[in-house]
């Protein structure tokens, strides 16, 4: 029986499942599960109730089996076991039943606090870098002085960059101050409202959402387009705001760009403080992985940390998932943490080294040329000088990876070169990336230079 391994493999599996299933299914069936045991070919998942265990077995076994099989690289049988009291990981890697929490003061027990908080998502565990320092500072200020500093606080970014982490951190902090908070996703808000209407519990719904000190709503974009939920949230927002209660909202885009949000709602959101989290730079990504390794008491070579950080540059959640998979593979196969093993760990990830398909091709050509001390015309020239040819191959790789341009279009951008030439250049760089640390550094720094320019011009 390998208990610690089961826990870590399941944590990695949850990262993948969170992307593959709907948010509702993840929150309802998977969020509170844990890896209990991996022995032989049997993997046991712990569920908080018999009902959840039964639903997992009937509804989600195929996708769970597929995910675990890919992670473990072998056939596996999935079983489920009910652990009624919940499960807590111990420092020694074992598992134990969590004792019932001590009785809370009446005021803390009397009001629901929405979805449970992740104990790891605190301010202490949040790695601050250039891309997120403003959002972090705003979140700390709100947590220290809710309802007065910045109200509402709107945190927006792409997927997997730390919005939810900051919302949880705020909730943890205000909870420690004895304040009442409610943290829910926008989808949960909508579900609560629909249930209240169906079951004639509208007054109970209003009391739940309007009798707290801090309201934290994750992924507000899910309310856009849902007229009744949007209207209800608008009135809830107004009541809390007028009472100087703190409101914190996260969104995957600027509020103004969200479709179907009325002007009166937008004006309320934009009347507070807006904080954006940008994709983390390489230094921050490496710091995140280093801190994670330290928390797990695992020594990971710096070149391996560098490799994973460069391979998954746009999404912290995916990067941590790749890192978890690497650690699980090392334990499963009893291999050291090397670059070769790291390359295996990320080999089948579809998002590895990918950028948004809307990246500007001309910007890529200019940034690559500038990095190597050349001009765009040098890359388009017919010369085969070694330094220019290498820079041209790097540009071909980035154009192929980071844009949706065809091989023929990329060839035109690089001086009317044929599609077979572009493909050879791309494949050459893609192969050498797994072997050459200096090349990985070059690719990462060209991308970082483009991110920095965008952030400065934003």
The pair of three-digit structure tokens given for residue 52, joined into one six-digit string: 């959840």
Q: Are residues 26 and 164 in contact, defined by beta-carbon separation less than 8 angstroms?
A: no
Distances in Å between the alpha carbon of 188 and those of 161, 192, 204? 21, 6, 15
Q: Rounded distance, CA 290 to CA 299, Å?
A: 9
The predicted-structure confidence for 111-152, as pLDDT tens digits, reads as follows 445 557 888 889 988 988 888 889 999 999 999 989 887 888
Q: Are residues 29 and 79 in contact, defined by beta-carbon separation less than 8 angstroms?
A: no
The predicted-structure confidence for 338-349, as pLDDT tens digits, reads as follows 888 888 888 766
For 282-312, give the DSSP string: HHHHHHHHHHHHHHTT----HHHHHHHHHHS
Q: ∠ at Cα 25 (265, 172), nearest 5°?
A: 60
E strands, 86-169, in order: 87-89, 95-97, 153-157
Exposure on the CB side of residue 294, measured as CA atoms within 13 A: 9
Q: Report strand pairing: 153-157 vs 246-251.
A: parallel
For 197-262, give the DSSP string: HHTT-HHHHHHHHHS-SEEEEE-GGGTTT-HHHHHHHHHHHHHHHHTT-EEEEEESS-GGGSTT--
Distances in Å between the alpha carbon of 362 and those of 127, 398, 412? 33, 11, 12
Q: Rounded distance, CA 35 to CA 13, Å?
A: 9
List beta partners, residue 43.
Answer: 38, 78
Q: Are residues 212 and 206 in contact, defined by beta-carbon separation less than 8 angstroms?
A: no
Q: Rounded distance, CA 269 to CA 230, Å?
A: 13
The predicted-structure confidence for 58-107, as pLDDT tens digits, reads as follows 888 888 998 888 888 888 899 999 875 434 333 333 333 333 333 334 33
Q: Are residues 185 and 193 in contact, defined by beta-carbon separation less than 8 angstroms?
A: no
What's the mean pLDDT in 396-409?
86
Q: Are residues 415 and 382 in contact, defined by beta-carbon separation less than 8 angstroms?
A: yes
The predicted-structure confidence for 277-334, as pLDDT tens digits, reads as follows 888 888 888 899 998 888 888 899 998 898 888 887 767 888 888 888 888 888 888 8
Best mean pLDDT range from 10-24, 156-170, 210-224: 156-170
Q: ∠ at Cα 241 (236, 246), nearest 5°?
A: 100
Q: What is the pLDDT of residue 256?
A: 64
Q: Are residues 31 and 70 in contact, defined by beta-carbon separation less than 8 angstroms?
A: no
What strands, in cross-sheet order, belong to the sheet with 77-82? Answer: 34-39, 42-47, 77-82
Q: What is the pLDDT of residue 367?
A: 92
14-19-21-26 Cα dihedral, nearest 10 degrees? 50
* pLDDT confidence band for 407 (50 / 70 / 90): confident
Domains within the chain, CATH numbers bracketed: 3-97 (3.30.300.180), 106-277 (3.40.50.300), 282-346 (1.10.8.60), 361-457 (1.10.1750.10)
Q: What is the pLDDT of residue 371?
A: 93
The pair of three-digit structure tokens given for residue 138, joined into one six-digit string: 């705003």
Q: What is the pLDDT of residue 87?
A: 40
Distances in Å between the alpha carbon of 146 and those of 153, 170, 177, 179, 250? 10, 9, 11, 10, 16
Q: What is the pLDDT of residue 449?
A: 85
Q: Report strand pairing: 95-97 vs 87-89.
A: antiparallel
The pair of three-digit structure tokens given for residue 12, joined into one six-digit string: 């990695």
Q: What is the pLDDT of residue 84?
A: 53
Q: Rounded distance, CA 45 to CA 402, Å?
A: 38
Q: Are residues 311 and 325 in contact, defined by beta-carbon separation less than 8 angstroms?
A: no
| pTM of this structure | 0.53
């Amino acid at each position: 029986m390998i208990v610690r391994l089961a826990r870590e493999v399941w944590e990695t599996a949850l990262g993948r499942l969170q992307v593959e299933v709907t948010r509702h299914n993840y929150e309802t069936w998977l969020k509170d599960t844990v890896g209990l045991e991996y022995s032989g070919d049997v993997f046991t998942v712990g569920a908080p109730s018999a009902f959840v265990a039964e639903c997992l077995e009937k509804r989600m076994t195929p996708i769970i089996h597929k995910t675990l099989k890919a992670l473990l690289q072998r056939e596996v049988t999935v079983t489920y076991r009910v652990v009624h009291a919940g499960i807590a990981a111990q420092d020694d890697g074992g598992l134990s039943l969590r004792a019932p929490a001590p009785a809370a003061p009446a005021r803390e027990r009397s009001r629901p606090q929405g979805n449970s908080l992740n104990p790891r998502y605190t301010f202490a565990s949040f790695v601050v870098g250039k891309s997120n320092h403003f959002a972090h500072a705003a979140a700390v200020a709100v947590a220290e002085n809710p309802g007065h500093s910045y109200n509402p606080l709107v945190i927006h970014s792409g997927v997997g960059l730390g919005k939810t982490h900051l919302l949880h951190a705020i909730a943890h902090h205000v909870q420690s101050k004895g304040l009442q908070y409610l943290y829910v996703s926008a989808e949960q808000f909508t579900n609560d409202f629909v249930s209240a209407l169906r079951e004639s519990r509208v007054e109970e719904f209003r009391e739940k959402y309007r009798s707290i000190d801090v309201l934290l709503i994750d992924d507000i974009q899910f309310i856009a387009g849902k007229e009744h939920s949007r209207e209800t949230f608008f009135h809830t927002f107004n009541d809390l705001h007028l009472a100087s209660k703190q409101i914190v909202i996260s969104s995957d885009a600027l509020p103004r760009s969200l479709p179907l949000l009325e002007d009166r709602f937008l004006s309320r959101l934009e009347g507070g403080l807006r904080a954006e989290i940008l994709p983390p730079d390489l230094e921050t990504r490496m710091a995140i992985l280093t801190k994670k390794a330290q928390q797990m008491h695992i020594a990971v070579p710096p070149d391996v940390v560098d490799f994973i950080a460069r391979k998954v540059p746009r999404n912290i959640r995916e990067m941590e998932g790749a890192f978890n998979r690497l650690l699980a593979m090392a334990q499963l196969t009893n291999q050291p943490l090397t670059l070769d093993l790291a390359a295996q760990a990320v080999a089948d990830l579809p998002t590895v080294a990918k950028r948004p398909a809307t990246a500007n091709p001309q910007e890529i050509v200019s940034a690559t040329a500038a990095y190597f001390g050349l001009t765009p015309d040098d890359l388009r020239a017919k010369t085969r000088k070694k330094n220019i040819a290498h820079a041209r191959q790097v540009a071909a790789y980035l154009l192929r990876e980071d844009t949706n341009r065809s091989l023929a279009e990329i060839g035109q951008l690089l001086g009317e070169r044929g599609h077979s030439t572009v493909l050879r250049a791309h494949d050459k760089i893609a192969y050498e990336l797994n072997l050459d640390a200096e090349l990985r550094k070059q690719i990462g720094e060209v991308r970082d230079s483009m991110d920095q320019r965008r952030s400065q011009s934003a």
